[in-house]
Amino acid sequence: MSETHPPYPLPRGTLPGAPPPELPEVLPPPAPGPRRPDQRQSLIRRAGGALIAAVLVLAKFGKAALLLIPKAKFLTTAGSMLVSVAAYALIWGWKFGAVFVALLFIHEIGHVIQLRREGVKASAPMFIPFLGAFVAMKELPKDAGAEARVGLAGPVLGSLGCLIPVALWLATGNDFWQAAAFVGIFLNLFNLLPILPLDGGRAMAALSSWIWAIGFVLFLGLLVVFPSPVLILIVLLGGMETWRRWKQRKSPEAQEYNRVSRGTRVAVAVVYLGLVVALGAGLELTHLERTLSDV
C-alpha cells in the first residue's frame, strides 16, 4: 500500500494521516477610506465663505451704515462712559462706577448746553478713567463773561444732579446713596477751585486775573498735603495756562476779551459764592462717618 503525502508541509509532531491543521483565515486588505481634506484647504474655504458673507452684508446694509456715521460722536461718548464704568467697577464695584459716571455726565452736559447757548462749537463729552471727563471747545468764547458762564454751567447742573442720590438716600436711608451724594457734591466743589483749567478758574476770568495767582499758590499747598497724580497734572496744565494768560494780559486782544460788564461780574460772583456755600453745606450734610467695622 503506497503512502500518500499531503500537498502541504505538516507541522513538526503531526502524524501522517491526521486531519490537516486549521489554517488562519486570511482577511482581504481593507478598502481605502475617504480621504481627509487638507486642513489648509478647509480654512481657506471657511475664510472665503466668511468674506463672501461680509461682502453681502455690506452690500445690503451699507446705506444704513452710512446713515450711522453722524452718530459716531454719541457712540464715542457712550464707549468712553462704558470704559470708565468698567475701570471704576474694578475698585469700587459696578454700582458706584455707574452712578459716578452718570454724575460726571450731568456735569459735562451743563457745559455743552451753555456752549451751545453761547454759539461755541465743542466736542461731545469724553470720559477718561480716574481723570474725569472733558468737553473740548473748538473755538474760544467771545469774551471772559461767556467763558465764566460756560465754566459755571457744569457745577450748576452737576449740583442739581446730586439731588438725585440725596433724594434716594433720604427716601431709603441707604448709606450707598449718601456716599454717592457726597462724592458728587465733592466733585462739583473741587471743580470750583479758582485755578485753570478747572471750572472755578474759568469763572475767575470774568472777575480778576489776580485770583488765578492766589488760587495757584493755594493749590500748590494742597498738592503738598495731598500728593496725587491728578493734582500734579492740574498744576502743570494750570501753571502753563495761567502763565500764558498773564503774559498776554496787556495785549489789545486780551484786554478786549477781558472787558466784562459790571452786571456780569456781579452775577458771576453771586453764582460762584452761592455754589461754594451750598456745596459746602451739602458736604457736611452727606458726610458719612466710617468706623473700624467699615474698613
d(CA 280, CA 274): 10
For the chain, 295 residues long, give each residue's pLDDT as a single digit of tens: 444 445 545 455 555 555 555 545 555 555 554 444 444 444 444 444 444 444 343 334 434 433 443 455 566 778 888 898 899 888 888 999 999 999 999 999 999 999 999 999 888 888 888 888 888 888 888 899 999 999 999 999 999 999 999 999 999 999 999 999 999 999 999 999 998 889 999 999 888 878 887 888 888 888 888 888 878 888 888 888 888 888 887 888 888 888 889 999 999 999 999 999 999 999 999 988 764 345 4
Q: Is 157 within 8 Å of 107 (Cβ atoms)?
A: yes
Angstrom CA distances, 219 to 92, 102, 202, 234, stand at: 27, 27, 15, 9
The SS3 assignment for 61 reads helix
**What pLDDT sits at residue 138?**
80
Can you tell me the distance from the alpha carbon of 222 to that of 229, in angstroms, rounded to the nearest whole number? 13
Predicted confidence at residue 127, as pLDDT, reads 87
Q: What was the pLDDT predicted at 219?
A: 81
Place of cell 452786571: 263
DSSP state of 69: G
For residue 141, the model assigns a pLDDT of 87
Confidence at residue 57, expressed as pLDDT on a 0 to 100 scale: 38
Instruction: Please give the single-letter amino acid code of residue 203.
Output: A
Q: How far apart are CA 234 and CA 194, in angstroms?
A: 12
pTM: 0.70
**C-alpha gyration radius of the chain:** 39
Whether the Cβ atoms of residue 77 and residue 116 lie closer than 8 Å to each other: no
Residue 280: the pLDDT is 95
Which pLDDT value is given to residue 66?
A: 37
User: In sequence order, what DSSP letters do the residues of 196-215 get, joined into one string?
Assistant: TTSHHHHHGGGT-THHHHHH
